[in-house]
Structure formats: C-alpha cells, structure tokens
Structure 1
C-alpha cells in the first residue's frame, strides 16, 4: 500500500511538471512583438500558392508587405485582393540584375536613402525600425522530377538556380537591411529536404536550403537576426501541379534510350504516375494557411521557432521517418515507390 501511494504521488508530480512545462511553452510561444505596423516584410514567389496567401495574410496583420512576383499579371491579382498598404515588385530570383532592382526598391520603401539625414535626430526608439524586418524566401519550382537516370545536368541546374542559388543570392543581398532591423529570415524548405523521395533537383535544393539556413542561423544570432525554416508536407499548389509533372514525365519517358525502357519495364511510367497521383490527391492538403500561419508566427512571435512542420503528413509521418535509421527509411520509401520490371 505504501509503495502504491508513493508511485501514485510520483506519477502526479510528473504530470504536474509536464503540465507546467507545457503551459510555460504555450505562453512563451504566444507572445508577440510590438510595432508590427512599422515593420516591412519582403515575400518572394507571390504570384500564387503560399506566397500569394502569405502576402495577403501579413497585410491583414498590419505589416508593410513588399510582395515579389515573377509576372505582372500575378502582381495585379495580388494588388486587387489586398490593401493599398501592400506593394508589389517584379523579381526573378535567378537574375542578379532583377535582385539588385528589387533591393533598390526595398531600400526606397523602407526609407533607407533618407536614413543618414535622419539618424542623428531620430529618437532612440525609432532607430530599431530602420531596415527590413522580414524576408520570406518562398519562390520555388519542382519540375522536372523523376528517376535520376532520366535527368540531364541542365535539369538539376534549372531547379537549383531557383530553389537554392536564387534563395542564397536574395538572402545575401538583403542581409544588411535585415541586420539593421535585427529582423527575421524565413526560408521555405520541405519534408523532401528531410527525406529524399524523388529524383531530380527538388530534393537536392531543399536539402541545401536546410543546410544554408542552419549555417545562416548560427552566424546571424550574433547580430540579433532570427532564421526559421518552414518544412511543409504535401499541399496543392503550382509546385505540386499533377498535370505539369505528368506531362514532363511522359516527355522524358518517350526520349529515353531503348535499353533504359527495357530496364525499367513497360509499366514503370504508369506506376510512377500513380504514385504521384496518390501523393497529390490523397496526401496533399488544400489548406495553405497551415503553411502561411507558420510564416506569420515566425515573423510576429517574440520567440520564433527554428523549424516549423506544416501539415499532418509532415508532423506525423515524414519528419518522424527522417529520424529513423536509414535502412528503415529506405525500406518505407521502397514500399511507396514503384519497382522496376525488366522487359
């Protein structure tokens, strides 16, 4: 009886400690920054998908949003659905000249050119708002994807130039403004930066985003700049557009040498497309706010998280899978992907 009471007391104390820790974590996580209406945020890839919704959501939150779009029609659609406070600009992250033009525009919008005439007379509390508070690196592409053997070197470069090299160049160009504001960098990676499920440049680029973000975070913490990584699962956006993926796969299959066809088997292409259909139709969520809410928290929370996993499949399947031994992760992915049937 004495031992039973002791065990019960120990269990109660443990539950109380866990509840206290959870309460402290939730309280800390919910604390918000002040002065949001004075802060500028640049979001890339705002033509559609996560970027489009994030720009509108941050605009409603009160940020001065600078939404970078690849095309003028995309920028026009965004302006029509946002407040006059939101500004759009055209940006191709693979073009250094385009990035430089965007930098000049952001400097102008944030009052950077006037800062040297005002710095000596500005009150101390105003000086912290000079610069760029947030950079959300969201621009990205996925196609081409498919077995590695079906790719050419240019296929990897096409995706890496947008998803990784472009992200790095944009970040480096805007770092001085971010350091001045002691602001935030939010990089959109993917669960495919944790588990490599498909061939092509997409997984490579997202693994690179993870590594770049980790290194940048450790370097920038000395300057008060926070770096967060968003790791979405499968969502229904242009990046996961099934028709684009299928069309590209069919073109690649038709251009493969005969010996490669025979090695994979006649049914491999259709089996591979069925896997993509399952991923996009069954796993993919249409609720993009699961991702954009993570972006908003990373920009507005007093204590932003280092990593955000977005979507039930990311939280409960892909991220846990990434922590398992490689042999187990390989076994699971081999079950999910089609097998070759030499003909």
Structure 2
C-alpha cells in the first residue's frame, strides 16, 4: 500500500514539474503592465521581464522612479506615471496601455503597487488610517484591473495580484491585513469569472521581505506616529513599555526578514510565462513554514501562538 502511495506521489510531482516547465511561445510579442515600479518588487520584475524580452509597460508613482527604471532597461520598456488611488490617473494609464498594445491585447497585468503603513494596534488608528491603505492595496487593485480587463481578455492573458500571507492570517492591526484579505477574495472571484474566457488569475503571497515600503524603519515610524496620535486613555491602557516592546519586535525583523526579492519576482515571472501557472505562489521560508501552516490551524491555537510572542498592555487583565 505504502509503495503504491509513494509511486502515485512521485508521478504527481513528476507531472507537475513537467507542466510547470512548459513556457508560453512568442514572449517577445507580449505586453505586460506592472504597477508600483518605482522600487522593490515592481522595479526588479520590470528589469527581469525586460531581460527576458517581453514588452514591459511600467507604472511608476514618480517621474524620478520612472527615469531611474528607464536608465536600467532597454528601449523596449516604457513608463507611465500612475497613482492607483486616483481614478483619473488610472483611466489615463489604461488608455495609454491600450494605445501601445493595439489589437494584440495585454498579455499580463501585475497589480504590485502597495503600502504597509500606517500599521499599529487598531485602537491607535483612525478611520482615515485604514482608508489610506485600502485605497492603494485593495481599491487600487480593483480599479486598475477593471480598466484594463478588456485588453487582458482580448489576449487571453494573465492577471497577477500581489497579496500576502497576511491575507491568510492577520497578525497585527491596521488596514494592511484587511486589504490583503480583500485582494484574496477579489482574486478568487475574478479567477472563476475569467476562466470562461481563457484568462488566468494568480495570487502571489510573499512572507516578509524587506523593501522600501516594508522596512523595519518605515514600520517603526508608523507605529510611533500612531502612538503619538492616540488618546491619553489609550496610552494609559497600553503603557510606554508596550510601545517599547512593540518597537523592539519590529527591529528584530531586520535580522529575520528575507532580502532576496528575486524569490518573489521569480514567482511573478513564472506566473506570466508558464503555460500552466499555479493559482498561488508563497515565496519565503516564513510563508511556507510558519504563516501558511498557521492559517490552517484552529483559531484558538493561532491566538495562543500570537499571545505567546506579543507584548502585553499595561492594563491587561
């Protein structure tokens, strides 16, 4: 029995390996539109796909980011200024993309633009703090996707949405985890709807990687700013020691986070170039060994694990 099971598992792994090695043809004729290309995953992916020969259309928030990216890539790569929180900017960028892809359509859309701050315990935040993140990480993803979806459908292409393992298990307050849960739901529904048209929807769920928007420095500054705006009652409930311990735990991320961004962009590239991409990719050892297993555990066990490793408020019972 065990031998038969081992053979079946081996055959499954071999078949999966073979399918995932098959590459889409005529890559040099295909256009890919990437948001958030000023730095981090977006910038690296744009350069990576440009080297691969694809026609990259890079959305950058600033002219400085666009100029820097153009200086590092070939003449094939083109940039456009894009703020995903502004409908007029998204509509203009979508029209710009349409002019460039023409009748060929858009092979790939990568919704990469995102922010991580403000992040803090929920009671320290205001409604606007939540809105700030949701506007970029969730509503921006939806707006960009809906505007270019006809072009992707025309090419029978791919939509690649950057989520997070924090879209599987919420370990801290603020809009970040909430936005990533939303991206997961949007991607799931979109995948089923677009399957009828030959369009594949893929999610990238990285663990913790150090980028310009997720660095411990940015998170510490966000935490301190949220504490400063909190009411005297909240400060008394939590206490200065809670803040100090929280900041120390954030600083520890510097030694544990992964700095090899190519682990993520390689997954994005595979999602765009493989004939049979996966539905989900989870780059990072912490995603595979810690957070994904946690997401399948009973809630009371996850709560105990989080309590064990979290600072205690001064007025905790």
8 Å contact from structure 2 (residues 209, 257) kept in 1: yes
Task: Map residues 297-308 of structure 1 onto 2, 5 A cutoff.
Answer: 297-308=270-281
Per the alignment, residue 19 of structure 1 pairs with 10
Per the alignment, residue 328 of structure 1 pairs with 301
8 Å contact from structure 1 (residues 233, 313) kept in 2: yes
Task: Map residues 278-289 of structure 1 onto 2, 5 A cutoff.
Answer: 278=252, 280-289=253-262
How far the C-alpha of 1:15 sits from its partner, in A, is 2.5
Per the alignment, residue 123 of structure 1 pairs with none
8 Å contact from structure 1 (residues 290, 310) kept in 2: yes
Q: Which residue of 78, 90, 101 corresponds with 2:69?
A: 78
Task: Map residues 266-281 of structure 1 onto 2, 5 A cutoff.
Answer: 266-278=240-252, 280-281=253-254
Q: Tell me, what secondary structure is at the counterpart of 2:110?
A: strand
Q: Which residue of 15, 38, 41 corresponds with 1:50?
A: 41
Distance 1:250 1:323 in 2: 32
Per the alignment, residue 313 of structure 1 pairs with 286
Task: Map residues 167-316 of structure 1 onto 2, 5 A cutoff.
Answer: 167-278=141-252, 280-316=253-289
8 Å contact from structure 2 (residues 118, 226) kept in 1: no
8 Å contact from structure 2 (residues 120, 222) kept in 1: no
Per the alignment, residue 339 of structure 1 pairs with 312
Distance 2:223 2:4 in 1: 58
User: After superposition, what is the alpha-carbon deviation per residue over 1:244-281, rounded to whole angstroms, capped at 9, x for unaligned?
Assistant: 22222222223322221221122011111112122x21
8 Å contact from structure 1 (residues 283, 313) kept in 2: no
8 Å contact from structure 2 (residues 134, 176) kept in 1: yes
Distance 2:124 2:74 in 1: 46
8 Å contact from structure 2 (residues 124, 229) kept in 1: no
Per the alignment, residue 120 of structure 1 pairs with none
Distance 1:141 1:165 in 2: 12
Distance 2:183 2:305 in 1: 24
TM-score between the two structures when normalised by the length of structure 1 = 0.90
Distance 2:309 2:158 in 1: 37
Per the alignment, residue 36 of structure 1 pairs with 27
Q: Tell me, what secondary structure is at the counterpart of 1:142?
A: coil
Q: Tell me, what secondary structure is at the counterpart of 2:144?
A: helix
8 Å contact from structure 1 (residues 47, 69) kept in 2: yes
8 Å contact from structure 1 (residues 59, 86) kept in 2: yes
Segments of structure 2 that go 5 or more residues without pairing to the other structure are none
Q: Which residue of 136, 151, 154 corresponds with 2:128?
A: 154
Distance 2:8 2:280 in 1: 25
Distance 1:25 1:242 in 2: 37
User: After superposition, what is the alpha-carbon deviation per residue over 1:27-60, rounded to whole angstroms, capped at 9, x for unaligned?
Assistant: 0111111010110000000000000000001111
Distance 2:222 2:194 in 1: 40
Distance 1:233 1:248 in 2: 20
User: After superposition, what is the alpha-carbon deviation per residue over 1:178-207, rounded to whole angstroms, capped at 9, x for unaligned?
Assistant: 000000000000011111011111011000
How far the C-alpha of 1:284 sits from its partner, in A, is 1.1
How far the C-alpha of 1:342 sits from its partner, in A, is 2.6
Distance 2:90 2:233 in 1: 44
8 Å contact from structure 1 (residues 275, 336) kept in 2: no
Per the alignment, residue 97 of structure 1 pairs with 88
Task: Count residues in correspondence.
Answer: 316
Whichever of the two has the greater Rg, that structure is 1
Segments of structure 1 that go 5 or more residues without pairing to the other structure are 1-9, 116-129
Per the alignment, residue 108 of structure 1 pairs with 99
TM-score between the two structures when normalised by the length of structure 2 = 0.97
Q: Tell me, what secondary structure is at the counterpart of 1:136?
A: strand
